[in-house]
């Protein structure tokens, strides 16, 4: 049986892993070919921009691993929508993201053509 100390250690480890993964994402990532960008902020929000139209992701969650399962939460007035996604950190400068239809639980990238965004980190 797991002791309280062991349980707290596991919770702290999971929290640290989640925070570490989010820290790696902070910054602006751009897919120039499709004119898409994701700007991950330190406050757990994302500014998603496509074809000059910006949408605020008010929060997001990640699972550990690579690829990571993600859920992007968007709010418009009283309406909240959760968009599932898969994110893979390829290297320090490259990120892959694919979004899926609400209600699905993807664990990996699909075989659908042109769905995976290949993003490069913008350095200032």
pLDDT score of 5: 55
Spatial distance between the Cα atoms of 22 and 14, rounded to a whole number of angstroms: 12
Task: Return the half-sphere exposure (C-beta side, CA atoms, 13 A cut-off) of residue 87.
Answer: 24
Domain ranges of the chain: 4-121
Q: Alpha-carbon dihedral of residues 124, 64, 76, 33, nearest 10 degrees?
A: 50
Please state which of the four CATH numbers 1.10.260, 2.40.128, 1.10.10, 2.50.20 is assigned to the domain occupying 4-121: 2.40.128
Spatial distance between the Cα atoms of 64 and 76, rounded to a whole number of angstroms: 28
Spatial distance between the Cα atoms of 41 and 54, rounded to a whole number of angstroms: 14
Whole-structure pTM value: 0.78
Each residue's pLDDT, cut to its tens digit, for the chain (124 residues) gives 556 554 444 444 444 344 445 788 999 999 999 999 999 999 999 999 998 899 999 999 999 888 999 999 998 888 899 999 999 999 999 999 999 999 998 999 999 878 899 999 998 7
pLDDT score of 17: 40
């Amino acid at each position: 049986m797991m002791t309280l100390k062991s349980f707290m250690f596991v919770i702290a480890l999971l929290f640290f892993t989640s925070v570490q993964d989010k820290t790696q994402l902070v910054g602006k990532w751009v897919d120039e070919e499709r004119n898409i960008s994701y700007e991950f902020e330190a406050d757990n929000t994302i500014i998603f921009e496509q074809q000059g139209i910006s949408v605020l992701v008010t929060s997001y969650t990640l699972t550990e691993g690579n690829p990571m399962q993600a859920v992007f939460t968007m709010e418009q007035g009283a309406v909240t929508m959760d968009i599932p996604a898969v994110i893979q950190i390829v290297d320090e400068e490259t990120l892959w993201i694919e979004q899926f239809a609400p209600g699905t639980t993807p664990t990996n990238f699909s075989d659908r053509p042109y769905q995976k965004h290949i993003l490069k980190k913008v350095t200032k």
